[in-house]
Amino acid sequence: MLRDVLVVADPLHTFVTYKDSTYAMMRELARRGVRLAACEPQHLHWRSGEPVTAWVRDIELTGHAEDWFRVRGQRPVALGEFGAVLMRKDPPFDAEYFYATHLLQQAEREGARIFNRPAALRDHPEKLALMEFAEWAPPTLVTRSAEAIRAFHAEHRDIILKPLDGMGGRGIFRVGPDGLNLGAVIETLTAHGHTTIMVQRYLPAIAQGDKRILLIGGEPVPYALARIPQPGEVRGNLAAGGRGVAQPLSARDEAIARALGPALAARGLLLVGLDVIGEHLTEINVTSPTCFQEITQQTGWNVAARFADALQQAVGTG
């Protein structure tokens, strides 16, 4: 039996419990009798001759929407002493996140079981990971060159431009056939040619939603959450005001999930969120995939329970 789990995440007081997927995981693990501890990446440290250690808080869930956890104690603990460690820090994938993955990888060398695997987190930046699976993606360009972006726009006429380190729909621009403000958008996103960005052909199917497909242990959850933009918006992200509607996977959704799932799971990615618009894969999310609660509430399919089952199986205690 999995006895204890450390969750490495953003500050607990920032969780919005009615929709937070990390909270859903913790609630399900606690229901199964798993002891929970939490810390932030800044609480990880290593000293030569010693294992990677974190200053953690042992917590107990209260069952309340507010004041949802109670701290039972605080202590330094080697990560290898936990049955599993969940890395659930939200993006952006900045330098500090990168350093945290190296600390976690050292803990892994010392015997800690960490999900998603630290090296896999580094190897699958959430937008650039798409390059490996380009046959499922829309026409896409990754560059910092204004000339290349202008040529891409001339070819496809209606495009989406977005930063590689964005999340929640922040920094996403659409430029239509008239090219209005293309130069300003390029200058802003590339910082005058110093920052690489992603450009994709605009997909009109965004009106039916940007679908989040969850892979757990390489297997797709049978429902996606279609995040439908508000009128006049091109971003379906819930953080940008999108409306989440759970729906069964389409045949194309299933094909994409089945094509990517086993390969990603074999690399230590226990949980992955695929973003699909219409027939096309647009992003591969590995840092802190969400939508557990929305899918469960609308369909009755318990995503957190499936995740807990997969976690137990991954650590060899299922």
3-state secondary structure (DSSP) of residue 222: coil
Q: Which of 227, 237, 253, 306 is catalytic?
A: 227
Cis peptide before 237 (omega within 30 of 0): no
DSSP H helical ranges for 65-181: 95-109, 118-123, 146-156
164/194 Cα distance (integer angstroms): 13
Tokens standing for residue 261: 């799932």
114/107 Cα distance (integer angstroms): 8
Nearest CA-CA partner of 64 in 23, 103, 11: 23
88/245 Cα distance (integer angstroms): 24
3-state secondary structure (DSSP) of residue 63: coil
- Residue 283 catalytic? yes
- Residue 285 catalytic? yes
The answer to whether 270 touches 287, Cβ cutoff 8 Å, is: no
- Residue 67 catalytic? no
Q: Which of 27, 57, 117, 162 is catalytic?
A: 162
Q: Which of 210, 253, 283, 294 is catalytic?
A: 283
Q: Which of 108, 275, 294, 306 is catalytic?
A: 275
Q: 298: buried, middle or exposed (CB in 10 Å: 19+, 13-18, 0-12)? A: middle
- Residue 162 catalytic? yes
- Residue 174 catalytic? no
- Residue 275 catalytic? yes
Q: Count CB atoms within 10 A of the CB of residue 184.
A: 11
Q: Which of 27, 211, 235, 306 is catalytic?
A: 235
What is the pairing mode between strands 84-87 and 4-8? parallel
Q: Which of 210, 211, 285, 294 is catalytic?
A: 285
Q: Which of 117, 212, 237, 253 is catalytic?
A: 212
The answer to whether 189 touches 195, Cβ cutoff 8 Å, is: yes
The answer to whether 42 touches 36, Cβ cutoff 8 Å, is: no
Nearest CA-CA partner of 285 in 55, 54, 90: 90
Q: Which of 27, 57, 88, 127 is catalytic?
A: 127
Residues annotated as catalytic (active site), given as ranges: 127, 162, 212, 227, 235, 275, 283, 285
